[in-house]
Structures are given as structure tokens and as C-alpha cells.
Chain A
Amino acid sequence: MSADVKRAPIRPDWWSKTFAGAVLGVTLAFALAGVFAWVGPGGIAAPDKSQFVMWLIAPLWLTVFGFVWLFRSGAQALLWLGGANLLAWGLLFWVRG
């Protein structure tokens, strides 16, 4: 990819991007926190770990939400975050057994 290819300006796509950030962001955060709960240090039964896992959700979600408007279009946002969700949820179901 060459740098001098002029890119089309990003489209605001308010509804689809906001939806992607709000909904796909939170589902992705749940799945990632869940994977961490199972395979992170100490495993699922580590005492007091669940509170930390709960605390992971908000920062993950908000970070995705905050930068969601950087996607070039709403469709891109839905596609990428949807894909990330599929991966993360697949991983969660796999590690959860």
C-alpha cells in the first residue's frame, strides 16, 4: 500500500458507528473479560478475581466506544467489531469448555 493514495475522508455514519461502539463494544468487552477470567493468572477459581474481571469490562468497552469513529465507515465498524466479537466469543466458549 503506498502512502500517496488519497484516502476518502471518513464518514460520520452516526447511527451505525454509535451502535457498534455501544453494543458490539460491550459484548466484546464481556467476552475478553471472560477469556481473561478463565485463562488469566490463577484461572477461574482464583479468590477475589471476579471483582477484577468485572472491573475490566468498563475500560475495554469505553476504549472501543471512544475510538469507534475512527473507522472509515459504519459498515467497516460493524464488520471489524463483529469479527472481533466472533473471535472473542469463540475463544470464550472454547476455554470455558
Chain B
Amino acid sequence: MKIRSDILRVYQAVHTWGGICAGMLLFIGFFGGALTMFKAPLERWVSAPVVPVQALAPAQVDKVVAGVLAQYPAAREEFTLHVARDEHTPAPVSWQAGESGHEVDFGLVRWQATLDADGRLAVTQQQPSLLAELIDMLHRTGGIPGTLGEEYLGIYVMGVAGLLYFLALVSGVILLLPTLVKDFFALRPGKNRKRFWLDAHNILGITSLPFHIVISITVVVFAFHDQFYDGLRGIVYRDQPMFSPPAIGATPRDATKLLPASELVRRVQQQAPGFEVTELLYMGVESPRPIVRAAVASPRHLVQAAETGFVIVQPYSGAILSTSMLPGQGNTWSALVAPFFALHFGSYGGMTVRWLYFAFGLAGAALFYTGNLLWIEKRRKNQLKNGPLPAQPRRTLHIAAATVGVCLGSVAGIGACLVAAKWLHAFGAHANSAYLTVYYTVFLACVAWAFVRGAARAGSELLGACALAAAAIPATSLAAAFMPALGMWTHTSPATLGVDGTALLLAAAFAWAATRAARRARNGAADSVWSAAAAPAVVAPEPARQVGT
């Protein structure tokens, strides 16, 4: 397909600038996003087994609910009944004080209730691990601190990055069209590094193009939906109601007359055959509008949230109030919207799609990394035959250092957080309060290191740091297993062992990349940004020679 050269030139610029401006943020977004596919296993991996997971009969669960509601007024506002329980939700009922807002509250305290050996209510206070929240926050904000209004500032910055990313996708496709048939899937290794990276970049981009289009559009919507709704309310809907709220009852309710939880589960189950009810979120049980939001999971359906769909139930009558967030049962409009969420969250197709999205996420991160490498190579000043070594443009050196520092820094930072969670516990501290410090310390140290050492050396060194951080994850589990005196733990459920195994594989991949980068720094062309010979140390003027030496 032929495209006029003037169009190609303009879109080449759109592609480069869109990519360079958004690339590093998107790398963090994609790497974090890949990890959030396994949010639950990661959370289970870092959660200390405080209370053993208890199997309780339905009647016992109802006893816990009744006891909690009678003794703890805070729970009447909102509490969760965990129908499916594992390492990080061992007790059947949990609640927390205060409202859960948009921001992650790293000082969050939660209460959990179960029955003790004598069948009495046993309530413990705990700090739930917020590792998954942290990773999710980094994924959504790119790690940019600060808030704007009630929302993280980084969400809006990511929204803009998502927009630039869409522009980069459109322009990338336009650029590729003329040579698509010829060059597609031609991965040309060999002497020409730039050719190889370009081929790799194109293959990654084209093979996952639909995924990337969906992600870019949804990111823009997630960032700006409040503004979009406000705009629609002001100019389109005006007096028309945009949402139809459920009817409000007239009188406050008496929490002792709640239907048994098992009965609610049964009704939801009837409404959603083939789904597993994982938790019931009770909201405002004594208010005029008491509702229970039942989370239902099924690998065979597209669901609305990250992992589950929802059914809304009235907890006193058991009436089903809404199934619009239940896949396949909403009306046409919600059925049209649900796929957008599911396609962003990868919440369909169960484990297969989770792994696929994990791979897409890592491949997406690689797409931005290779894009930056290409920009850097393009700006490279080549050495003329027998000529002096050219000084690379300062801007190129800076982008190279920033790319290495920011991208690898975010990887090493998240790895360090996981490891810190267990070790801090060994020393009697709780990781929640330390997560942000650990992440930003490692991240900023990596960025600083990249600028001080130059991209070439820092490249292999930081890849080494990533390999170490990843390897420390299974190493920590091993240490916990063989040295019980440390007071750590090793979970043996397949999900948590999967975390160890995946970390080990990633460690091997980073170590391999580190040796490749080191080899290129040592033996590669000296006029490259990635050559250690071109590092500032060599460019710096020689000290004046002293007489007699």
C-alpha cells in the first residue's frame, strides 16, 4: 500500500513525540498492569498467616454476622462476608473504620471476626497487606505522587499518556502500512542493531494492536469519566436523570432481621448459575436503603470489575435489585459497555486469559522500551572511518539514561516491595507503612544511578539489580521454609508458589539481558550510546600531566 511521503513524514513526527512523551509512564503502567493480573496470588504471597483459614458451617457464619452487628456499630455501615476464603482472608467477616476513598490508605486497619474454639465471637485487629493496592496504584498513576481534587494527579497524567499512546498507535500503523506485507514478521538479527529493534518493535505492536487500541481508549475513559459525565449532564441530559437509583425504603431497618447469609448466597446462585459467589459486601444495613453487593466469579464470562461481576440484593427480603453488572443478564446497554471493562481487565476466560494478559502487559512494556531505544539509535552520531569518536547529543544521553533508570527502576522497586513485605515482618514491622518508602527509594536510586553512571553501564547494572530483586522473591520463600526462626512464612498453595516460580523465570530473563547489555557495552561499536567506551568518563578531559611522570 502506497502512502504519500509528506503524510509519512508528519506521522513519523507524531509517532516519535507521542511515544517519547508517554513511553516511560506507559512502561510502568504496563508492567504494573501485567502484575495486577495476579493481584490475588501476590496478596496471598505477602500475607502472613495470622489466623488459619477456617471452615465454618453456614449457621456459624450467621452467628458471626449477628455478633459483629450487635457489638460493632462501624460494621453496620459496611462489612464484607468472605464466602471464598484463602491466606489473606482467613476469617468470614471483616470491616474497617472510615470510608474507603480513591486513595490508598497505607495506615488502614481492619477488623476480622470468626469463632474461637468455644464457639464465641473472636475479633482481631489486623493491617491487611496493601501490596496489590500499591501495584495497582502505580499501574494507574505511573507512580506520580500528589492528588488533584479527590483523584490522584497521576490518573490524569496517565489519561494524557493514554491519548498520546492512541496517537502513536494510529501513526505507527500509518507508517507501517507501506511495508507491512514485506517486513511483517521479518526479524532481522545480525549486524544492524537498529533494524533488529525496529523489527521487534513492529512485531510487538502489530500482533497486539487490538489489545493496545482497547487499552488506550479505556485508559482515557478511566481517567476522564468524571469530566465526561459532568459534560454530558450539563449539555445533553440536563433535567433528565442519567441513572435510575434503586427505590429508597421509608424506615430504618433492624439488623437482627437480616436474612441468613447462606440464603442470600442461594438466591444469588439461582440468579447466576455457573458463577461462584466469592463475597458479599453489606452496605448500610440499618439505613433506609440496605443493599448487598454479591461478587460472582466465572471464568466463562466477561465480567465488569477486575475479577468479578456483581449482583445487587436486598438483605432483608432477598429480592434481586439489579443484575445489570451480571454478565449476560444486563440490558443491551450495559451488555455493550461490559466488554470494554473486561477487555481492559482481562477478566474473561479465566487463567488462560490472565496469563495472556500478563504476556501482553510485559510485551507492551517492551514495546515502549524498544521504541525509546529506536529513538536513541536514530539520534546516534556515527563515527566516520578513522575519525575521532563523536560526542553523542546530550539529549540522547539523557533520554537513554532516563529510559534505563525509570523503566528498570520501577521493576526493581516493585520486586523490592514484595521482598520487604516478608522481611519487615520478620523484624516485627508491618510492610504497609514502608511500601512507599521502599518503592520510591529503589526507584529514585535506580534513576540517579542511571544518570551518574551513564546509560551504557547502568543498563547492565540495573538489569542485574532487577534480576537480584526478582531472585530474592523465591529466595525469601526458601529462607522462610528452612529457617523458621526468622518468623516468616512460606505458603504452599499453587497460586503463591506460582509467584515464586514466575519471579525465578523473570530473574533468569533479567540476568540474561544483563549479560547481553554488558557484552554490548564492552564490545559494541564505540560510537553507540550503549557503549561503555563512550561514557562520560572517557569524554572528560584528561588531567594535566605533571612534570616528571
Q: Which of B170, B220, B224 contacts A67 (CB 8 A)?
A: B170
Q: Which of B7, B10, B333 contacts A49 (CB 8 A)?
A: B333
Q: Answer whether residue A37 sits at the interface, using C-beta atoms and an 8 A cutoff.
A: yes
Residue numbers in B under 8 Å from A51 (CB-CB): 333-334, 337
A26 CB to closest chain B CB (Å) equals 9
Query: Of B26-34, B77-85, B235-243, which binds chain A?
Result: B235-243
A22 CB to closest chain B CB (Å) equals 8
Residue numbers in B under 8 Å from A58 (CB-CB): 217, 220-221, 224, 228
Residue numbers in A under 8 Å from B331 (CB-CB): 47-48
Q: Which of B5, B14, B221, B334 contacts A69 (CB 8 A)?
A: B14
A30 to chain B: closest residue by CB: B231
The answer for the CA separation of A42 and B331 in the assembled complex, in Å, is: 12
Task: Determine whether the beta carbon of B7 is less than 8 Å from that of A53.
Answer: no
Residue numbers in A under 8 Å from B243 (CB-CB): 50
Residue numbers in A under 8 Å from B333 (CB-CB): 42, 46-49, 51-52
Chain B 220-252 interface 0/1 with A at a Cβ cutoff of 8 Å (1 = within): 110011001101100111101111100000000
The answer for the CA separation of A37 and B236 in the assembled complex, in Å, is: 8
Chain B 257-295 interface 0/1 with A at a Cβ cutoff of 8 Å (1 = within): 000000000000000000000000000000000000000
Residue numbers in B under 8 Å from A78 (CB-CB): none
A26 to chain B: closest residue by CB: B231
Q: Answer whether residue B70 sits at the interface, using C-beta atoms and an 8 A cutoff.
A: no
Task: Determine whether the beta carbon of A34 is less than 8 Å from that of B217.
Answer: no
A12 to chain B: closest residue by CB: B10
Tell me which residues from 366 to 415 in chain B have a Cβ below 8 Å from any Cβ of chain A: none
Q: Answer whether residue A33 sits at the interface, using C-beta atoms and an 8 A cutoff.
A: yes
Residue numbers in B under 8 Å from A47 (CB-CB): 244, 331, 333
Q: Please report whether the interface of chain A is mostly helix, strand, loop or mixed according to DSSP.
A: helix
Task: Determine whether the beta carbon of A30 is less than 8 Å from that of B236.
Answer: yes
A89 to chain B: closest residue by CB: B235
The answer for the CA separation of A46 and B337 in the assembled complex, in Å, is: 14
A2 CB to closest chain B CB (Å) equals 17
Q: Answer whether residue B216 sits at the interface, using C-beta atoms and an 8 A cutoff.
A: yes
B235 CB to closest chain A CB (Å) equals 6
Task: Determine whether the beta carbon of A65 is less than 8 Å from that of B163.
Answer: yes
Residue numbers in A under 8 Å from B171 (CB-CB): 66
The answer for the CA separation of A10 and B174 in the assembled complex, in Å, is: 15
The answer for the CA separation of A34 and B70 in the assembled complex, in Å, is: 49
Task: Determine whether the beta carbon of B229 is less than 8 Å from that of A54.
Answer: yes
The answer for the CA separation of A52 and B331 in the assembled complex, in Å, is: 12
A73 CB to closest chain B CB (Å) equals 11
Task: Determine whether the beta carbon of B163 is less than 8 Å from that of A34.
Answer: no
Residue numbers in A under 8 Å from B7 (CB-CB): 10, 69-70
Q: Which of B4, B167, B228 contacts A65 (CB 8 A)?
A: B167
The answer for the CA separation of A2 and B237 in the assembled complex, in Å, is: 47
A21 to chain B: closest residue by CB: B167
Q: Answer whether residue A94 sits at the interface, using C-beta atoms and an 8 A cutoff.
A: no
B5 to chain A: closest residue by CB: A9
Q: Answer whether residue B94 sits at the interface, using C-beta atoms and an 8 A cutoff.
A: no
Task: Determine whether the beta carbon of A44 is less than 8 Å from that of B240.
Answer: yes
Residue of B7, B9, B166, B241 with highest tally of chain A CB at under 10 A: B166
Residue numbers in A under 8 Å from B9 (CB-CB): 12
Task: Determine whether the beta carbon of B232 is less than 8 Å from that of A30.
Answer: yes
Residue numbers in A under 8 Å from B14 (CB-CB): 69
Chain B 145-176 interface 0/1 with A at a Cβ cutoff of 8 Å (1 = within): 00000000000000000010011011100000
Known contacts A47-B244, A59-B217; is-contact A69 B10 (Cβ 8 Å): yes
The answer for the CA separation of A53 and B337 in the assembled complex, in Å, is: 10
Q: Answer whether residue B544 sits at the interface, using C-beta atoms and an 8 A cutoff.
A: no
Residue numbers in B under 8 Å from A50 (CB-CB): 229, 232, 237, 242-243
Task: Determine whether the beta carbon of A96 is less than 8 Å from that of B340.
Answer: no
Residue numbers in A under 8 Å from B337 (CB-CB): 48, 51-52, 55
Tell me which residues from 314 to 337 in chain B have a Cβ below 8 Å from any Cβ of chain A: 324, 330-334, 336-337
Tell me which residues from 19 to 64 in chain A have a Cβ below 8 Å from any Cβ of chain B: 30, 33-34, 37-38, 41-42, 44-55, 57-59, 61-62
A64 CB to closest chain B CB (Å) equals 11
Known contacts A30-B235, A62-B166, A96-B236; is-contact A9 B6 (Cβ 8 Å): yes
Q: Answer whether residue A81 sits at the interface, using C-beta atoms and an 8 A cutoff.
A: no
Chain B 1-13 interface 0/1 with A at a Cβ cutoff of 8 Å (1 = within): 0001111011101
Known contacts A59-B217, A66-B170; is-contact A10 B232 (Cβ 8 Å): no
Task: Determine whether the beta carbon of B232 is less than 8 Å from that of A34.
Answer: yes
30 contacts between A and B (CB under 8 A): A9-B5, A10-B7, A12-B10, A30-B236, A34-B236, A37-B232, A37-B237, A38-B236, A44-B237, A45-B241, A46-B333, A48-B330, A48-B333, A48-B334, A49-B333, A50-B229, A50-B232, A50-B242, A50-B243, A51-B333, A51-B334, A54-B221, A54-B225, A58-B228, A59-B217, A61-B220, A66-B167, A66-B169, A69-B14, A92-B236
Identify the 7 closest CB pairs spanning chains A and B, nearest first. Answer: A9-B6, A66-B170, A34-B236, A50-B242, A48-B333, A58-B220, A48-B334
Report A's interface with B, CB cutoff 8 A. 9-10, 12, 30, 33-34, 37-38, 41-42, 44-55, 57-59, 61-62, 65-67, 69-70, 92, 96
